[in-house]
Amino acid sequence: MKVKDVMTADVRTCTPDTTLAEAGRLMWDGDCGILPVMDDGALIGVVTDRDLFIALATQNERAAGLRVGAVATATVAACAPDDDLQEALATMRHVRVRRLPVVGFGSSLLGILSMNDIVMATGKSDEVSCESVVETLRAICGQHHPAPHVVAA
């Protein structure tokens, strides 16, 4: 099964100049947790709901005063529409992400492949096993930060 067979093609996007308030509204309206960041039709980054929250919690600024370009991830793992789903799962495991932009020629955005898309396809074909989905989720959900340093009183 190919990425293009299960990806979400109708994707909300933003630009580096989009405010976090606008980005949050786009996510709410689109029922999504990620926005590809586009510049002149090319994918230049992504911003997630988590990125928005952490920025708002740590920068003591209003959402209307912060821009996506200041909090977006610029190094983006992506996949192609003709990639096999197993390849996409391997990429997700390796970079520990739940969503991959699907890009074409010139970094043009064609869609998003999410773990939700893959889970919904599981069982419809022998090509996506429950085991590979669980293995990917286990890798993604692994501890991202070292344990907090506890100081004895």
Residue 8 lies in a domain: yes
Per-residue pLDDT of the chain (153 residues; tens, 9 = 90+): 899 999 999 999 999 999 999 999 999 999 999 999 999 999 999 999 999 999 999 988 899 999 999 999 888 999 999 999 999 999 999 999 999 999 998 888 999 999 889 888 876 666 777 777 778 777 777 766 555 545 554
- In angstroms, the CA 140 to CA 91 distance is 11
CATH assignment at residue 74: 3.10.580.10
pLDDT for 23: 97
pLDDT attached to residue 144:
60
The answer to whether residue 40 is domain-embedded is: yes
Tell me, yes or no, whether 9 lies in a domain: yes
pLDDT score of 152: 52
Whether 150 is covered by a domain: the verdict is no
147 within some domain: no
Residue 127 lies in a domain: yes
Q: How many CB atoms lie within 10 A of CB 124?
A: 11
Position 37 scores a pLDDT of 97
CA triple 44-120-125, angle to 5 deg: 110
| Separation CA 27–CA 89 (nearest Å) | 24
Phi, psi of 97 (to 5 degrees): -130, 155
The answer to whether residue 25 is domain-embedded is: yes
| Calpha distance 44→106 (Å, rounded) | 11
Split into its structural domains, the chain has a count of 1
- Token code pair at residue 136: 């990917």
User: Residue 23: is it exposed, middle or buried by C-beta count within 10 angstroms (0-12/13-18/19+)?
Assistant: buried
Alpha helices by DSSP H, listed for the chain, are: 3-6, 20-30, 49-59, 85-95, 115-121, 130-141
- Can you give the pLDDT at residue 132? 77
Domain of 49, in residue numbers: 3-141
Residue 7 lies in a domain: yes
